[in-house]
């Protein structure tokens, strides 16, 4: 009887570890521009922590729109800090961030302006097409209308802090 109990406990632990591993492996996090910018500006915040420490547990994604928007923000707001562009590409490489194509125009039309503004539609559409999470600091994505819309589409929108709190036991 003891052997059976031990074997069951071992199987149970293995299946629990396996399901957590499978959960982590299949989850893709779409990153908003705000996450990339804050990760570049602070090595202490949640954005940098997630990209630096969870790169082997999650797949990070952006689309061409996010990359272009990030470069534009760096040019316009941080033009005096040329090293940030170099740091961006290093971060993309080290965090294994996958750069996806931009979403379809059909999906963009469905989202803008009914669900979200035109400027943010490519980010939301990109996350809806291929990701399980949208990580952002932009309040436009965190309003109830947007959250209700994505809830039935298996996309969770959250800030880095919310993400870390929600998954702290699995990280």
Nearest Cα to Cα of residue 154 among 124, 133, 125, 123: 133
Structurally, the chain folds into a number of domains equal to 1
- Whether 4 is covered by a domain: the verdict is no
* CATH number of the domain residue 123 falls in: 3.40.50.1010
**17 domain-assigned:** no
Identify whether the C-beta of residue 151 lies closer than 8 Å to the C-beta of residue 158.
no
Quick check: 151 and 47 in contact, CB under 8 A?
Answer: no
Q: Identify the band that residue 152 occupies on the pLDDT scale cut at 50, 70 and 90.
A: confident
Residue 145 lies in a domain: yes
Domain assignment present for residue 13? The answer is no
Return the ∠ at Cα 81 (arms to 79 and 84), rounded to 5°: 105
- Among residues 31, 122, 102, 33, which one has the least CA distance to residue 73? 33
Give the phi and the psi of residue 134 in degrees, each rounded to 5.
-120, 115
What's the pLDDT tens digit per position in 30-75? 999 999 999 999 999 999 999 999 999 999 999 999 999 999 999 9
Tokens of residue 147, six digits:
């959250």
Does residue 110 lie within any of the structural domains?
Answer: yes
Mean pLDDT score across all residues of the chain = 88
Interacting residues of 157 by C-beta distance below 8 A, sequence separation 6+:
127, 133, 134, 136, 141, 142, 146, 147, 150
What is the spatial distance between Cα 105 and Cα 122, in angstroms, rounded to a whole number? Answer: 9
51 in Cβ contact with 39 (< 8 Å): yes
Classify residue 103: in a domain, yes or no: yes
When pLDDT is cut at 50, 70 and 90, the band that residue 167 belongs to is confident
Q: Which residues constitute the domain of residue 88?
A: 22-167
Which pTM value belongs to this model?
A: 0.83
């Amino acid at each position: 009887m003891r052997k059976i109990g031990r074997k069951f406990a071992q199987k149970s632990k293995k299946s629990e570890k396996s399901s957590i591993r499978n959960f982590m492996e299949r989850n893709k996090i779409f990153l908003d521009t705000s996450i990339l910018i804050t990760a570049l500006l602070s090595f202490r915040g949640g954005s940098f922590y997630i990209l630096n420490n969870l790169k082997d547990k999650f797949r990070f994604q952006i689309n061409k729109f996010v990359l272009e928007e990030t470069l534009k923000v760096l040019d316009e707001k941080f033009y005096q800090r040329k090293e940030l562009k170099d740091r961006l590409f290093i971060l993309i490489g080290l965090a294994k961030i996958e750069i996806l194509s931009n979403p379809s125009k059909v999906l963009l039309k469905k989202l803008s302006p009914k669900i979200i503004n035109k400027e943010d539609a490519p980010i939301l559409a990109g996350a809806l097409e291929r990701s399980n999470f949208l990580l952002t600091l932009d309040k436009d994505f965190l309003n109830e209308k947007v959250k209700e819309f994505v809830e039935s589409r298996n996309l969770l929108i959250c800030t880095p802090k919310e993400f870390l709190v929600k998954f702290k036991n699995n990280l």
